[in-house]
Amino acid sequence: MVDLHGQYLKIKSEIDSSIQNVIDSCAFINGPAVKDFTQHLSDYLGGCHVVTCANGTDALQIALMALDLKSGDEVIVPAFTYVASAEVIGLLNLTPVMVDVDYTTFNISIEALANAITPKTKAIIPVHLFGQSCDMEPLLDIAKQHGLYVIEDNAQAIGAEYTFSDGHKAKTGTMGTIGCTSFFPSKNLGCYGDGGALFTNDDALSERIQMIANHGQKIKYHHSVIGCNSRLDTMQAAILDVKLKHLDEYCAARYTAAQYYTHAIKQIDPSERLFVTPVEATYSTHVYHQYTLKIKSSHRDKLKEYLTKNGIPSMIYYPLPLQEQEAFKPISHAGSNLMVAKQCADSVLSLPIHTELNIEIQNLVIEQLSHFCSQCL
């Protein structure tokens, strides 16, 4: 599904020397590379504050901790997402309110979101799933109208760009109250371990986030709020600082590979009797963290099995919508009909996509899809 080794080999000397620098300096925690990377990421994103932390899940948790929320407040989250987006809501004794997604983009349905708002609603967590931005303009309008915080889960879409109706553009993660991302190795900007970051344009909030991630202290040993210990270590920051320079090129490589798949799959199955290829929304670029097909007529599991038998890896992101996760049954409630989330969980199949994918490998995948298709139809 990924080729982290091939990607490493292309930048090996740069990475190796930056790791060696960290070891030579022995500044393993909060070393200079953390500050450098933070500054470079801020520049890349257009100048927002960046606070690094230990992983993407911590970023989401710290974001919620930084806002004035109290037990029982409702936080809206899409029902079709990775568990982390909703887990932190429950962890902080807030109430996850699950809403349905759009079948075309997999992202939060604006209509379902609007209908799920109650007097207890305090925040929305839109997730830019698979590498494409949610439709942020109407979402931000709704949030403004109801005084809600917006925490963007940007773990899968760093580098993607949203275009507003007046033509101005913004990077995903920089449009809401707070943006969160993950540097998990397989993410589009991944390190060689765990890492995460928060983004905000609000000066005071940035200070508060920094304080919470550092034991609730601004002055050493003076703790003004309950925080946590969540740091990006220097070695990971040094690796990320090298990889950030390649992020746009990585996104472009993923995009090229996605176009190749889509073109070929549309030739195999022009009327989408079996395969529905990813749809690119007009308002967002797509950085293809995943290349996710929808497989029609309950053939998904058979296709997955067929591909596995023929040496082609594929993954189901995600097999269960939130409403079917046992952990959430006692704490969450449905803010809308969650049919589409269920339909997505039942039909999605993600194909291998990464920066090192080449046409020869893609052709092997396409060949098997083609065989399966002719057997089925």
Q: Which is nearer to ligand PLP, 63 or 295 (CB)?
A: 63
Asked if 82 interacts with ligand PLP (CB under 6 A), we say yes
User: Minimum distance from CB of 184 to ligand PLP (Å)?
Assistant: 4
**From 61, 81, 95, 284, residue interacting with ligand PLP (rule: CB under 6 A):** 81
| Cβ at position 320, least distance to ligand PLP in Å | 15
Is 347 a binding residue for ligand PLP by CB under 6 A? The answer is no
In contact, 178 and 186? CB cutoff 8 Å: no
Q: Which residues pair with 97 in a beta bridge?
A: 76, 333
Near ligand PLP in 85-104, by CB under 6 A: 85
Q: For residue 155, which amino acid is it?
A: A
- How many residues touch ligand PLP under the rule CB under 6 A: the total is 15
Give yes or no for residue 153 binding ligand PLP (CB under 6 A): yes
Q: How far is CA 334 from CA 74, 300, 347, in A?
A: 11, 26, 21
Instruction: Report d(CA 28, CA 34) in Å as an integer.
Output: 10
In angstroms, the CA 148 to CA 247 distance is 32
Q: Fill in the per-residue mask, 176 to 215: x = in contact with ligand PLP (CB under 6 A), - = not in contact.
A: ------x-x---------x-x-------------------
Piece in contact with ligand PLP (CB under 6 A), picked from 62-70, 82-90, 144-152, 369-377: 82-90
Closest-CA residue to 66 (of 49, 82, 43, 46): 49
Four-residue CA torsion sign, 221, 227, 228, 230: negative
CB of 371 to ligand PLP, least distance (A): 31
Handedness of CA 258, 260, 264, 267 (dihedral sign): positive
C-beta of 196 vs 335, nearer to ligand PLP: 196
Q: Which is nearer to ligand PLP, 184 or 199 (CB)?
A: 184
Residues 117-136 that bind ligand PLP (CB under 6 A): 127
Choose among 21, 255, 55: nearest CA to 155: 55
CB 30 to ligand PLP: min, Å:
19
* Contact status: 56 vs ligand PLP (CB under 6 A): yes
How many CA atoms lie less than 13 Å away from 315 in the CB half-sphere? 10
In 99-233, where does DSSP find H-type helix? Answer: 110-116, 136-146, 203-213
Nearer to ligand PLP, 127 or 150 (CB): 127
Query: Could you tell me which residues are beta bridge partners of residue 161?
Result: 171
> For binding to ligand PLP (CB under 6 A), which residues are involved?
55-57, 81-82, 84-85, 127, 153, 155-156, 182, 184, 194, 196
